[in-house]
Amino acid sequence: MTDGPVTDRTVTHATFTIERAYAAPPARVFAAWSDPAAKASWFAGPEPEHELDFRVGGREINRGRQPDGTLMTFESVYHDIVADERVVYGSTLYAGETLATASLTTVEFEPDGDGTRLVLTEQGSFLDGHEKPQWREQGTADWLGALGAYLTRTHAAVR
């Protein structure tokens, strides 16, 4: 994130797709996405404020602080939910009071043998250099890795 006043207004449009394979059926991966306590355990960072109202029209809010103390607020609105198959949501990311990104994300949960092939596609507008598409893609890949770790960690409890 950049500091100080913005003198040049810019927008960078970017789309990325990330695929992951999880050794859990789609219903279990979807549940990890849709249950507030489960999602907070892998999606939210250290000492976050996380709220999840997982329904069409519902909101998700995740707040945390950068090392410099800047409050980061990621807020999503769910537009489409098909249980165990698909989630579509629109999001904004604010650094303090500054809008950094607005995006539309689709997450697909596809059966893959006994597991799940998750396909996440995000289309973003990255504003005034406050966030770069590659930062968002890396951050998204990191939390999909955290989802995988959560599924592995909780696997014994499901058996």
What are the structure tokens assigned to 24, written together?
Answer: 């859990």
Q: Does residue 4 have a pLDDT over 90?
A: no
Structure tokens, 4: 């100080």
Query: How buried is 77 (Cβ within 10 angstroms: 0-12 exposed, 13-18 middle, 19+ buried)?
Result: middle
The structure tokens 């927008």 sit at 11
**Confidence band, pLDDT 50/70/90 cuts, at residue 157:** very low
Separation in Å, CA 25 to CA 31, 88, 140, 145, 153: 10, 20, 21, 17, 15
Q: Is residue 105 part of a domain?
A: yes
How does pLDDT run across 110-139, given as a tens digit for each residue? 999 999 999 999 999 999 999 999 999 999
**Has residue 54 been placed in a domain?**
yes
2: in domain: no
Closest CA to 17 of 125, 106, 131: 106
Instruction: Please indicate, yes or no, if residue 8 is contained in any of the structural domains.
Output: no
Percent of the chain exceeding pLDDT 90 equals: 81
Report whether pLDDT(155) > 80: no
Kindly list the distances between the CA atom of residue 15 and the CA atoms of 39, 43, 63, 76, in Å, as whole numbers in the listed order: 24, 21, 24, 17
Count of domains for the chain: 1
The enclosing domain of 78 has a CATH number of: 3.30.530.20
Q: What was the pLDDT predicted at 66?
A: 85
Indicate yes or no: pTM above 0.85: yes
Q: By residue range, what is the domain housing residue 114?
A: 16-158
